[in-house]
A and B are shown apart, each in its own frame.
Chain A
Amino acid sequence: DGGITQSPKYLFRKEGQNVTLSCEQNLNHDAMYWYRQDPGQGLRLIYYSQIVNDFQKGDIAEGYSVSREKKESFPLTVTSAQKNPTAFYLCASRSLLGERNQPQHFGDGTRLSIL
C-alpha cells in the first residue's frame, strides 16, 4: 500500500543529544513537510521540501535540521539547540502535479519526549 512511514513511534532524548526522526514515502510525491503539534496549538510547519536537494524553513525551524537526498526520504534532526523538543512530530507529503489542490498525506507521527 502507498503511504508515509514515520519511525520510531516513540523517541526519548537526553540533554545535549541530537535525535533523528525518519520519514519515508512511496507515493512518488515531490513535496514533503515536517510539522510539530503541541496541545492546543495545531500543526506548525518546521521545514518543507519541494524537490530533492532543496528545502525551506517553515515557521519554527530554529533547533531543527533536515536533508532531502532522495525523493522518498525527508529525515528531521532535532538538535540540542531545540530547548523544548517534547511534542508530536508529523511528516506529510503532497503531489505537485496537476491542479494546485492536492491534499497532504500524513504519517502517524513520532512522539518525542525528554528524559
Chain B
Amino acid sequence: SQKIEQNSEALNIQEGKTATLTCNYTNYSPAYLQWYRQDPGRGPVFLLLIRENEKEKRKERLKVTFDTTLKQSLFHITASQPADSATYLCALDITGGGNKLTFGTGTQLKVEL
C-alpha cells in the first residue's frame, strides 16, 4: 500500500540550531513534493516545492532535499527561531494523480529559547 511517513513525535530544538524534518514515502512515484506549515487552528501554508529531477531547493532559511532513490525528502530550517514552532506537512503530487496532493501526518516542531 502507499504510505507517507513523517515523524509523529514532536521535535524539540534550541533556538539557533538547525531543525531537520523527514518525509519518507513508499509505493509512490511523485512528480513533485511540497512542504507546508500549519499553525494551531489554521489552514496549512505553502512553503516550498521540489521537483523529482531536483536534488535541493532553498528559500531564505529553508532548504529541502529530495532523494527519489531513497524515497525521502528532508526539510531543514537553519538558525531556528521560536516563531518557527509549528507543524510541518509534506505532500506528494503524484504523476497521473489527477491534480491531487497526498499529505503526510505532519511533524510538530518546537523551538525553545
Interface residues of A (CB under 8 A from B): 4, 6, 31, 33, 35, 40-43, 45, 48, 50, 56, 58, 90, 92, 94, 96, 100-101, 103-109, 111
Contacts and interface: CB of A to CB of B under 8 A. Distances in A.
Interface in B31-75: 31-32, 34, 36, 41-46, 49, 51
Contact of A43 (B8, B89, B99): B89
Interface of B: 8, 31-32, 34, 36, 41-46, 49, 51, 89, 91, 93, 98-106
Given A90-B43, A92-B43, A109-B43, 7 more contacts: A6-B43, A41-B105, A43-B89, A103-B49, A104-B91, A109-B42, A111-B41
16 contacts: A40-B8, A42-B89, A42-B104, A48-B99, A48-B100, A50-B99, A58-B100, A100-B32, A100-B93, A101-B49, A101-B51, A104-B44, A104-B101, A106-B45, A109-B41, A109-B43
Contacts of B102: 45
A43 B42 CA distance: 13
